[in-house]
């Protein structure tokens, strides 16, 4: 249990995000929970899971990665999708509950690419064997990843169309917006990363080319969703299969990427600290950070994450203008009512690795949490 809650008062201030007003600056980060039905439809336990965060006082909740087509996008066997009417209807029930509790709901759209642990045949910008090993806690076994198939131009268009269709369905389902997952080593990050994108066509080489698919997705979604529908973008340096990866050029690489992003800007940028420590993952030697550069160059609100349940980290991020909003993952997982606990000075529960291993499913997390409470 933690009881030292000297957080900056700003975390509880309302925040304008485009046309919507968040009741505070506290966001639930996307976390893979592999608790959908085998056909990708959201389940009642997922409804309880997301609604608990809204009832607990968070301003905005970002879903786990949601797959966007039935061809090659699905990352994990029990990952939820937003492809079929049944998927949409399941999310619509959850979105209504979240909105009713005063929070905004964002659907993170994801294509796993070469890191799929569900598909036998996987897609990637180039036929490059992924680093690392599969993550058995998400299903699909352990061992090495499959060698992906290099995507054709038609495949790239299919991926774009999957994101666009899923965004349309998210709008109908009652989400406030979507977040394009271009981080953590999944497909869109594979396009951004030089060692996985060996293409020599218009989608490879210069960063403007490697960002081309993401820009096309943003542009196409804007054309088919209502005015005011939020489009967020998640970026990172580290990857789930290469946690310590950093751009050799440091802040110069960040500036180059963010300049490309600024040409087709999203409504917000979410910078992921994959190892769970914002300062270690996002700060550069020159005193800038990936998050502060995103604010300066793109000029949209920025979400930071990575250990921001610690007061000193949260204060540094907000008070030194590195970011506007704080996303919590593990702290939210074991404290769905974290905002209320902090505001009321109540103790918070500490995260335990056993909550997500050997399974990241919601039922497993709940059982471990219950067992720990008895110790």
Average pLDDT over residues 323-327: 97
From the list 246, 274, 245, 242, the residue with the least C-alpha distance to 129 is 242
In degrees and rounded to multiples of 5, residue 110 shows phi and psi of -140, 140
Q: What pLDDT, on a 0 to 100 scale, did the predictor assign at position 2?
A: 54
Average pLDDT over residues 203-232: 98
60-62/104-110 β-pairing: parallel
Please write the tens of the pLDDT for every residue from 232-281.
Answer: 999 999 999 998 899 999 999 999 999 999 999 999 999 999 777 888 88
Instruction: List the domain boundaries for the chain.
Output: 9-373
Q: For residues 105 and 111, what is the distance between their CA atoms, to the nearest angstrom? A: 20
Q: What pLDDT, on a 0 to 100 scale, did the predictor assign at position 371?
A: 84
| Fold adopted by 9-373 | TIM Barrel (3.20.20)
Query: Is pLDDT of 227 > 90?
Result: yes
Q: Where residue 13 falls among pLDDT bands split at 50, 70, 90?
A: very high
For residue 42, the 8-state DSSP code is: -
User: What predicted TM-score, i.e. pTM, was given to this entire model?
Assistant: 0.96
Q: What pLDDT, on a 0 to 100 scale, did the predictor assign at position 276?
A: 79
Rg of the chain over all Cα atoms, to the nearest angstrom: 19
Q: Where residue 343 falls among pLDDT bands split at 50, 70, 90?
A: very high
Is residue 314 within a helix (H) or strand (E), and if so which, with residue range?
helix 311-319
Mean pLDDT of all residues belonging to the chain: 95
Is residue 218 within a helix (H) or strand (E), and if so which, with residue range?
helix 212-224
Burial (CB count <10 Å: 0-12, 13-18, 19+), residue 366: middle
Q: Do the Cβ atoms of 103 and 59 come closer than 8 Å?
A: yes
Structure tokens at 13: 């201030």
Q: For residues 197 and 211, what is the distance between their CA atoms, to the nearest angstrom? A: 11
pLDDT > 90 in the chain, percent:
89
Please write the tens of the pLDDT for every residue from 148-196.
Answer: 999 999 999 999 999 999 999 999 999 999 999 999 999 999 999 999 9
Q: For residues 364 and 357, what is the distance between their CA atoms, to the nearest angstrom? A: 8
């Amino acid at each position: 249990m933690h009881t030292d809650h000297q957080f900056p008062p700003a975390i509880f201030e309302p925040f304008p995000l485009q046309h919507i007003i968040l009741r505070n600056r506290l966001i639930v980060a996307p976390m893979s929970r592999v608790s959908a039905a085998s056909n990708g439809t959201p389940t009642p336990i997922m409804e309880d899971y997301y609604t608990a965060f809204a009832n607990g006082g968070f301003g905005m909740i970002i879903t786990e990665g949601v797959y966007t087509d039935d061809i090659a996008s699905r990352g994990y066997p029990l990952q939820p999708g937003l492809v079929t009417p049944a998927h949409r209807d399941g999310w619509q029930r959850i979105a209504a509950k979240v909105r009713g509790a005063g929070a905004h709901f964002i659907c993170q759209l994801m294509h796993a690419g070469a890191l799929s642990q569900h598909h036998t045949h996987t897609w990637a910008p180039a036929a490059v064997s992924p680093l690392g090993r599969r993550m058995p806690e998400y299903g699909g076994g352990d061992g090495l990843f499959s060698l992906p198939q290099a995507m054709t131009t038609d495949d790239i268009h299919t991926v774009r169309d999957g994101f666009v269709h899923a965004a349309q369905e998210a709008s109908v389902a009652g989400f406030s917006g979507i977040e394009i997952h271009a981080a953590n080593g999944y497909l869109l990050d594979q396009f951004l990363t030089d060692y996985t994108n060996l293409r020599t066509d218009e989608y490879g080489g210069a960063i403007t080319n490697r960002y081309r698919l993401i820009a096309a997705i943003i542009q196409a979604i804007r054309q088919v969703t209502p005015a005011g529908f939020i489009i967020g973008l998640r970026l990172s340096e580290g990857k789930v299969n290469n946690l310590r990866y950093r751009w050799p050029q440091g802040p110069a690489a960040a500036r180059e990427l963010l300049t490309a992003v600024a040409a087709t800007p999203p409504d917000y940028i979410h910078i992921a600290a994959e190892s769970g420590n914002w300062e270690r993952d996002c700060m550069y030697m020159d005193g800038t950070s990936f998050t502060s550069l995103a604010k300066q160059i793109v000029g949209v609100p920025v979400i930071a994450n990575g250990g921001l349940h610690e007061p000193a980290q949260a204060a540094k991020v907000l008070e030194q203008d590195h970011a506007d909003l704080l996303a919590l993952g593990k702290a939210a997982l074991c404290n769905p009512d974290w905002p209320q606990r902090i505001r009321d000075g109540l103790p918070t529960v500490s995260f335990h690795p056993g909550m997500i291993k050997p399974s990241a499913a919601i039922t497993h997390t709940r059982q471990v949490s219950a067992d720990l409470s008895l110790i």
